[in-house]
């Protein structure tokens, strides 16, 4: 016989419940963004949402589940909205354009969902979120690697992997600076991030036709 029913049959939710869940996740996002995951107390999240602790636990079995659900939704939305940001690129596309559009998309997402950065880069995140982050990280790396492979045909795989890691790391550093500023200054940092990535990669694609001297203005 079947040892057990579903591990958890999806509880029948009323519309009210769905609203509460959304409300709680929004509150959790706010609290996580300002205080980080571990420092955020479930009571604080419930208070932020204007409900009692008991109500919170009506919808989430524990604190980790809140972060997981939030992370799931964010990653889902990210994949859906920006999944193609790193799609294989026509090798004739200028490097500036490829880097610029990818950076713009990811920066836009992170600016719209600041909790994403807090959840993914906090040192105190629960195991499950870390797994998701690692999965996303790996996905991004392989995408970048594929993209670079098309641009840099004569580079060893190990160098390719390392370069991809560098690109992601440099992006992350730039993202932090971008999120720390606003308005015109933020835009300036976005541009600097693009510059850093382009200049880092440009010498590697130097053998391609028409790619010389893109960095220097003509004399």
Partner DNA sequence: CCAGAATGCGAGCGAACACTCGCGTTTGTC
Partner DNA sequence: GACAAACGCGAGTGTTCGCTCGCATTCTGG
Residues that bind a second copy (CB under 8 A): 36, 38-39, 122-124, 162-163, 165-166, 169-170, 172-174, 176-177, 185, 188-189, 192-193, 195-196, 199-200, 202-203, 206, 215-216
Q: How far is the CB of 215 from a second copy (least distance, A)?
A: 5
- Residue 202 binds which entry of a second copy, DNA, none, with Cβ cut-offs from 5 to 8 Å by kind? a second copy
- Residue 173 binds which entry of DNA, a second copy, none, with Cβ cut-offs from 5 to 8 Å by kind? a second copy
- Residue 51 binds which entry of a second copy, DNA, none, with Cβ cut-offs from 5 to 8 Å by kind? DNA
Which parts of this chain interact with DNA (CB under 7 A)? 11-18, 20, 40-43, 50-55, 57-59, 61-64
Q: What are phi and psi of 47, to 5 degrees?
A: -60, -45
- Residue 54 binds which entry of a second copy, DNA, none, with Cβ cut-offs from 5 to 8 Å by kind? DNA
Q: How far apart are CA 67 and CA 25, in angstroms?
A: 8
Q: How far apart are CA 29 and CA 174, in angstroms?
A: 22
Q: What is the dihedral of CA 51, 54, 58, 63, to 10 degrees?
A: 90
Provide the H-helix boundaries in the chain: 15-35, 42-49, 53-59, 63-82, 95-112, 114-121, 127-151, 157-179, 183-201
């Amino acid at each position: 016989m079947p040892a057990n029913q579903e591990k958890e049959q999806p509880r029948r939710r009323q519309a009210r419940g769905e609203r509460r869940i959304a409300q709680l996740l929004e509150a959790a996002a706010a609290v996580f963004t300002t205080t980080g995951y571990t420092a955020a107390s479930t009571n604080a999240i419930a208070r932020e949402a204007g409900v009692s602790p008991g109500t919170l636990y009506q919808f989430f079995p524990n604190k980790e589940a809140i972060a997981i659900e939030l992370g799931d939704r964010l990653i889902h939305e990210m994949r859906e909205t920006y999944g193609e940001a790193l799609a294989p690129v026509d090798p004739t596309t200028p490097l500036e354009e490829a880097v610029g559009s990818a950076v713009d998309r990811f920066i836009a997402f992170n600016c719209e969902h600041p909790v994403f950065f807090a959840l993914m880069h906090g040192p105190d995140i629960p195991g499950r979120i870390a797994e998701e982050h690692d999965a996303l990280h790996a996905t991004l790396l392989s995408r970048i690697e594929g993209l670079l492979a098309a641009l840099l045909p004569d580079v060893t795989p190990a160098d390719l992997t390392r370069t991809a890691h560098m690109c992601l790391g440099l992006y992350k550093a730039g993202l932090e600076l971008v999120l720390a500023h606003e308005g015109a200054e933020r835009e300036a940092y976005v541009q600097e991030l693009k510059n850093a990535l382009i200049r880092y990669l440009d010498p590697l694609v130097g053998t391609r036709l028409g790619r010389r001297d893109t960095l220097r203005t003509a004399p």
